[in-house]
Amino acid sequence: MYIGLNDLVTEGTFHWIANGKQATYFNWGPTQPNNRGGNENCVAMRVDQVIGFNYSWTDVKFPFSYKVI
């Protein structure tokens, strides 16, 4: 589920789309953010407790096919 956070402008610097402010809190899952393939710029909440994601964050490709909260 996309949470409204991205680093589309500057890689590694995440901003909220609602107000443009830089994020100061992060809840990354294991090995995240990893920018896999060099094009994961949006942040989604993920639940997969088997691999350690317990409502934690992962970076995903843009455009994405996640629900927005």
Residues 32-49 have pLDDT tens digits of: 999 999 999 999 999 998
What residues form DSSP beta bridges with 43?
Answer: 5, 59
50 alpha-carbon distance from chain centroid? 19
Indicate the residue type of 14: F
Rounded CA separation 52/42 (Å): 20
69 pLDDT higher than 90 = no
Indicate the residue type of 17: I
Q: What percent of the chain has pLDDT over 90?
A: 78
Domains defined along the chain, listed by start: 2-61 (3.10.100.10)
Closest CA to 27 of 64, 61, 53: 53
